[in-house]
Amino acid sequence: MKKLILALAMLPVIGANAQTVKKVMLEDYTGAWCQYCPNGTHTIEAIEVTNPTNFIPVASHNDGGYGWQYDSLMIKEGHDIALPLASGGIGVTGFPTGAIDRKIISGTTIPVGIDANGTAWKAAVNARAAISAPASVSFSNLKKNTDGTYEGDVVVKFVTAPTASVPITVNVYVLENKIEAKMYGTLNLTQANITTWYGGNGTSKVYITTNSTNNYYHNHVLRAALGGTWGWSGVVPATPVVGTEYTKHFKITIPTYAPAGVWKPANMEVVGFVAYNGSAASDQKEIMNAEKVSMGAFFPVGVETVKNNVSFTDAYPNPASTSDVVNLNYTIVNSEKVTLNVYNAFGQLVAQPYVSEEVRGTHGIALRASDYNMSAGVYILQLSTNSGKATQRLVIQ
């Protein structure tokens, strides 16, 4: 007990009124045809290392203006968002280009270009992650139906008042990881030109090849925008009330055929977000907050998903290595402050990676053992709210 009290004393003091964690969404406008685009992928991987708990990447494939046949992973909604300002898009002019929360970070347009080390993307994500989010986003009533469809609700609750007189929309993205370029034979999934980030020498020089010697995996690929290009309007009223929950039902149908291969639910994630839908030129497209859960958070119909006020619904990978990002899905019945504590086998508190005011529903948290000097062993993850607690055993190998 003395050791536990000492460990608690060594942690930073957090006020009783916790802020809502800002989960930063970076939309990477990319393409399998693009020789520099693996630099964007490399930068995203680096940001995932430094910001595992509050970073949500989305790979939005585009054709670069050459025609739809140049990238079969492109969907219309992602293409339309990237259109010039005059055509109603955010004005993507080169690839890879990042939109960090669709916020004007520098200059006069939303898209942020990339340099050899992705410095601008990293700085923008860090700056956005440092703010307190004006809203919390969650999922609720998640279920997998007997016909193979998935459905649920996305829930938004404002903790501070948003900007007046700017329309607000809600959207749900469906993402897929581990899309294997060589898996689909003649389909256009191969990353035709691979930068030396994937050759291992760490420079920005591009090594042009017609075929990669390694199998390239596309991750965080935008497969569907359920609310259309800019999201559902009317879910959130013109003047939302702080503390009120706004809910939108959605349904996911896995296609029996897709140009870039049939989706694999085991590799998929669902992202919900709330955003302004004003003028991109006037910096009125900002994503206020987002949430991400795996398809493992959708329970089969007939299975009781929540037995307590607080519960873990998914944790993967487990066991994990010290360098793995461990993804946790959890559900809370009430809207309240959530604290995640990590204890070792001796009951000592070794980390407190997450404290946030959250809306009721299912949320995601990610953590990496090496960030908290957690060596191989058995750990207990404890999620606490005023309404209850839940624990999850985690093995680090």
Q: How many domains does the chain have?
A: 2
- Which CATH number goes with the domain that contains 395? 2.60.40.1930
CA distance 240 to 222: 29
Looking at the fold, whether 281 and 315 belong to one and the same domain comes out as: no
3 state DSSP class of 138: strand
Last residue of a domain, one of 271, 304, 337: 304
- Determine the pLDDT at residue 70: 72
- Determine the pLDDT at residue 291: 97
Looking at the fold, whether 254 and 322 belong to one and the same domain comes out as: no
Looking at the fold, whether 320 and 297 belong to one and the same domain comes out as: no
Is 281 domain-assigned?
A: yes
Is 166 domain-assigned?
A: yes
Is 153 domain-assigned?
A: yes
CA distance 315 to 293: 11
Query: Is omega for the bond preceding 52 within 30 degrees of 0, making it cis?
Result: no
- Determine the pLDDT at residue 188: 53
Parts of the chain with a pLDDT under 70:
1-17, 67-69, 182-190, 192-215, 302-307
Q: Which amino acid is at 191?
A: Q
DSSP annotation of 257 reads -
Looking at the fold, whether 223 and 126 belong to one and the same domain comes out as: yes
- Which CATH number goes with the domain that contains 33? 2.60.40.10
- Quote the strand ranges of 1-119, DSSP E: 24-30, 55-61, 97-100
Looking at the fold, whether 66 and 188 belong to one and the same domain comes out as: yes
- Determine the pLDDT at residue 215: 61
CA distance 72 to 206: 24
pTM: 0.87
- Residue showing tokens 């009125």: 284
| Residues spanned by the domain of 41 | 22-304
CA distance 260 to 61: 12
Is 5 domain-assigned?
A: no
DSSP annotation of 241 reads P
Last residue of a domain, one of 257, 285, 304: 304
Looking at the fold, whether 286 and 354 belong to one and the same domain comes out as: no
Last residue of a domain, one of 304, 323, 357: 304
Which segments of the chain does DSSP mark as H helices, in order?
A: 2-10, 37-50, 76-81, 119-129
297, 142 in Cβ contact below 8 A? yes
pLDDT digits 0-9 by tens, 340-383:
999 999 999 999 999 999 999 999 998 889 889 999 999 999 99
- Determine the pLDDT at residue 212: 44
CB neighbours of residue 67 within 10 Å: 8
| Angle at 116 (CA atoms; ends 113, 122), nearest 5 degrees | 60
- Determine the pLDDT at residue 182: 64
